[in-house]
Structure 1
Amino acid sequence: MSIQSNARTILYFGFTFQVTVVIKNLLIVKLKSKTLLLISMLVSKVSEKGQIVIPKEIRDRLSIKPGDTVIFRVEGGKVSIEVAKERMKDILREGKPIEESIEFQRRLREEWD
């Protein structure tokens, strides 16, 4: 168990906290009201090529395997990552041929007229 007790101040969700102890990936934070708050976080560095490593704990929890596709979403200055449920080629393979789709649209237009 790695414990670092170098106290420092951090900004989290717009609030300033005094971090007192870091145990593995768990921060113990002291608030002004003397209440303790536990924040679970994992950190990964960006390589020179812009690559990141998804920490093993997250890969295990989400069952991410080599070759899986993940989706990055940017919302309000934050990035979230989720596992793509299906591969695009599998989705396209399940679709109907374009001729059937065009014929279906043609029939709908005839019904509307």
Structure 2
Amino acid sequence: MKWLFILLLVSFACETKRNSPPVPEIVEIPDSAHPKQVITIKARAIDPDGDYVSIRFDFGDGNISDYSEWVRSGSLVLFEKAYVAPGEYYVSVQARDFEGNHSLWSSGKIIRIE
């Protein structure tokens, strides 16, 4: 019985903290733009654990950006993009934290290039 108590005590003491992935969101994107017009897309990621985060964009045209520099949780990250062809593009973002956790892709927003 004494060993069972010690085993339970050790297992509770060794419980590791679970690190949660960041939650990304697009903060601002134009509704529309012209081909070859440079636009700015703003996004951020909130990390429940307060870890530094890095963000990447899926521009909806077959291109995914590299991850941004590390920023504090909740800080804005700006990317510039110029679409070449007219159409509607579904833009979303993904984030990772300094502990290596990756988020799912965010709900996206549509931009019309006309």
Structure (1/2) with the larger strand percentage = 2
Which has a greater percent of helix? 1
Q: Which bracket does the TM-score occupy, shorter chain normalised? A: under 0.3
TM-score normalised per structure 2: 0.22
Q: Which has the larger radius of gyration?
A: 1
Between 1 and 2, higher relative CO (CA 8 Å, sep ≥ 6) is seen in 2
